[in-house]
Amino acid sequence: MNFLKKIKKHTKVSFLNYGIVIAFYFIIQAVAVSGHLTNSLKGQLIPIVSYVIMALALNLVVGISGELSLGHAGFMSVGAFSGVVVSMSLAGSIPSTGLRLLCAIVVGALLAGIAGVIIGIPVLRLNGDYLAIVTLAFGEIIKNVLNCLYVGVDGAGLHMSFKDTASLNLAADGKILINGPMGATGVTKLSTFMAGTILLIVVLVIIQNLVNSRTGLAIMAIRDNRIAAEASGVPVTKHKLIAFVTSAAIAGAAGALYALNYSTIAPKKFDFNTSILVLVFVVLGGIGNMTGSIIAAALLTILPELLRKFADYRMLIYAIVLIVVMIATNNEKVRRFIADLKKKKKQEDAKNE
Amino acid sequence: MLANLINGISLGSVYAIIALGYTMVYGIAKMLNFAHGDVIMVGGYVAFCSISYLGWPPALAVLASVFVCTILGIVIEGLAYKPLRNATSLAVLITAIGVSYFLQNAALLIWTSNTKVFPNVFANLPAIQLGGTQIAPVTIITVLANIIIMVALTLFTSKTKMGKAMRAVSEDKGAATLMGINVNRTISMTFAIGSGLAAIAGVLLCSAYPTLMPTTGAMPGIKAFTAAVFGGIGSIPGAMLGGVLLGVIEIFGKAYVSTQLSDAIVFAVLIIVLLVKPTGLLGRKIREKV
């Protein structure tokens, strides 16, 4: 017990998170082996992992860095489509699917990270609601540009165009990879649940080590009081950018994983609503709380599936739950009421002893 | 060219009316009311039902729509936003998103996802010829409505007691309370006005683009919000200017650059404006106190 007490609190939380992910993986595997895994849940596994990773990425920006981003689906789609292009164009040269998936995720993360730098430098000079609306605008721009993007591949390499498929000038053996508003079609599914779990653990290692490092402390200091942090010599823009770009890159990786789970994927999938969906995971899980993000993202991705019976009412219930939870956790009266209940219980416990 | 300009001003006027709702609520309650776009949709549906099912005349339908949306605005504010008066802005934002989901899905249940075709309300009004370009009656009415609303709101906020109370609350809630202003009632009033305007915008929007779906309000809502930020959120003339400019940019982008990229152009202009002038075109610079 003494040994356990000596471990720092944040280390315990970190290991709890790894534990949850690994346990989840083995439980699913066990259920799958025993043959009880339904097809609908099986199809949901990779989306669940992708959304958990997205929620962790967004929590880094919203919770740790304290900036509201409404355009994270944009980074996800950058990762998704670059991942698709990489995996499809490497199909001939790298036969191993695992290696190709790795390449796709790495390139997706890199390109989304670059997009994060390009967007982050101007955006992070703004504050509060203005920052939120600009990230929203960037998310919409990314979606619109991808809607006009045509990419094809043939013997000579990659071809890109913003007009139509004809202007790609593909050779006879060429193949269209991304077809404008239709998105990527005929994608070879590469993502596996195991790969997703490994990616999730890698992401957790990155985020938790970043948060508990000196840099993480600086980022949180800026969140709590920008002026005080600046006065103490913390470079504000640099640290905000570190959090933002890391988050963007992780979102890109999640996007690549997500896209390679489907045979077709359209840019429309990553619109404003997706950004909001992930934000809801983060807020319901607890802002700044990584464990909460993991659980909320997983549960809320499964929930609509479980509510299939109430098909028509499920989104209505979802909306009401969202409002009620926000009021219950943020209203002073409700909070005081809960605090009083806890106090009473403690007093009773003390009496009983 | 002229036709595009007129179309742009017309679309921009709709954005401007919606943006007024955003800007007033933001100025007073300091919150982004994401559900505003969906109130437009509700307004459109109420007008649609009263014309198509009940056979009411258009003027009565508009009144009914304004009435329903005003009540809806007050109810939403009272149930969802009032308990969060002192909460963080993120909590209020998520609640607003929840309300937006709720309205969209309630509309989906009531009116189903089938597209409704909005009846042509201004069919028996004559079109006007201007230098060889025909201007549809909807366009003229939209622009006129926009100007009337703008003037009325400016007079309301500067001359009436309630308007002065609104300005006082937006300046400093605590001080306003000390001066005997009922802050809660003032905020409710703002929501009522904003939602009433949304209903008018809904009817005008559906008259110009006559397809009605539960998600009809979402995109115009986001655009109008952009317009409000563009013009400087919290400022009434700013919302007007931002809305009209946004509409013109959108129509010109569609006509001369690319149909698919017109939204991207609108948002790109917004970003450039915010980077050069972070508080919008007519926004006031608020100095940060330590």
pLDDT per residue over A148-197, tens digit each?
888 887 777 777 777 777 777 776 667 778 887 888 887 888 888 889 99
A232 in any annotated domain: yes
pLDDT of residue A351: 74
Contact A326 B84 (CB under 8 A): yes
Mean pLDDT in residue range A318-335: 80
Contact A68 B93 (CB under 8 A): yes
What are the tens digits of pLDDT across the range B3-30? 888 888 888 999 999 999 888 888 887 8
- pLDDT, greater one: A295 or B90: A295
Residues in chain B: 290
CA-based nearest distance B19→chain A, Å: 14
pLDDT of residue A2: 64
What's the CA gap between B228 and B24, in Å, rounded?
10
pLDDT of residue B219: 84
Query: Strand, helix or coil at A176?
Result: strand
| Element housing A161 (H / E) | strand A157-161
- Whether B275 and chain A come into contact, CB under 8 Å, resolves to yes
A186 in any annotated domain: yes
pLDDT of residue B38: 92
Residue ranges of chain B whose pLDDT lies below 70: 123-124, 131, 285-290
What's the CA gap between B91 and B98, in Å, rounded?
11
- pLDDT, greater one: A7 or B183: B183
What's the CA gap between B198 and B35, in Å, rounded?
11
- Whether B47 and chain A come into contact, CB under 8 Å, resolves to no
What are the tens digits of pLDDT across the range A17-47? 888 888 888 888 888 888 777 777 788 889 9
* A69 within 8 A of A135, measured Cβ to Cβ: yes
A274 in any annotated domain: yes
Query: Measuring CA to CA, how many Å separate A352 from each of A338, A340, A346, A349, B275?
Result: 21, 18, 10, 5, 63
What are the tens digits of pLDDT across the range A115-141? 999 988 888 877 777 788 888 889 989
What's the CA gap between A96 and B246, in Å, rounded?
50
* A196 within 8 A of A50, measured Cβ to Cβ: yes
Query: Strand, helix or coil at B289?
Result: coil
What's the CA gap between A81 and A182, in Å, rounded?
12
What is the biggest distance separating any 2 CA atoms in chain B, rounded to whole angstroms? 61
Which residues in chain B are contacts of A280 at CB distance < 8 A? 94, 97
- By C-alpha distance, the chain A residue nearest B88 is A330
What are the tens digits of pLDDT across the range A264-290? 888 888 888 888 889 888 888 888 888
Q: Rg of the Cα trace of chain B?
A: 19
Name the phi and psi angles at A51, rounded to 5: -70, -35
Q: Report how many domains make up chain A.
A: 1
CA-based nearest distance A248→chain B, Å: 19
Residues in chain A: 353
Full DSSP string of B216-277: TTHHHHHHHHHHHHHH-TT-HHHHHHHHHHHHHHHHHIIIII-TTTHHHHHHHHHHHHHHHS
Size of interface A-B (CB pairs under 8 A): 123
What's the CA gap between B188 and B100, in Å, rounded?
18
Bridging pattern class, strands B116-117 and B211-212: antiparallel
DSSP conformational letter for A127: -
Query: Strand, helix or coil at B288?
Result: coil
Contact B275 A122 (CB under 8 A): yes
Contact A316 B99 (CB under 8 A): no
Partners of A157 in beta bridges? A154
pLDDT of residue B21: 87
pLDDT of residue A15: 86
pLDDT of residue A353: 63
What are the tens digits of pLDDT across the range A217-267? 999 999 998 889 999 999 998 999 999 999 999 999 999 999 999 888 888
- Whether A94 and chain B come into contact, CB under 8 Å, resolves to no
| Element housing A151 (H / E) | strand A150-154
Contact A272 B109 (CB under 8 A): no
Full DSSP string of A306-336: HGGGGGGGHHHHHHHHHHHHHHHHH-HHHHH
Residues with Cβ within 8 Å of A335's Cβ and at least 6 positions away in sequence, in order, are: A329
Contact A330 B106 (CB under 8 A): no
What are the tens digits of pLDDT across the range B63-92? 999 999 999 999 999 988 888 887 877 788
A251: containing domain: 2-311
A317 in any annotated domain: no
Q: Where are the alpha helices (DSSP H) in chain A?
A: 2-6, 9-34, 39-59, 72-89, 97-123, 128-147, 193-211, 214-224, 226-231, 236-259, 272-285, 290-306, 314-330, 332-352
The backbone region for A132, taken as left when phi is positive above 0, alpha when psi lies in -120 to 50, beta otherwise, is alpha
| pTM for the model | 0.84
- Would you tell me the crossing angle of helices A214-224 and A193-211 to the nearest 10 degrees? 70
A59 in any annotated domain: yes
Full DSSP string of B116-161: EEPP-TTTTSPPEEETTEEE-HHHHHHHHHHHHHHHHHHHHHHHSH
pLDDT of residue A3: 65
* A65 within 8 A of A246, measured Cβ to Cβ: no
Question: pLDDT at residue A54 above 90?
Answer: yes
pLDDT of residue A112: 95
What's the CA gap between A248 and B83, in Å, rounded?
34
B254: nearest Cα among B246, B263, B267: B263
Helices and strands (H and E) in chain B: how many:
11, 4
Contact B97 A280 (CB under 8 A): yes
Sheet with A150-154, strands from edge to edge, namely A157-161, A150-154, A175-179
pLDDT of residue A96: 83
Contact B109 A313 (CB under 8 A): yes
Out of A137, A181, A312, closest to residue B226 by CB = A137
pLDDT of residue A4: 64
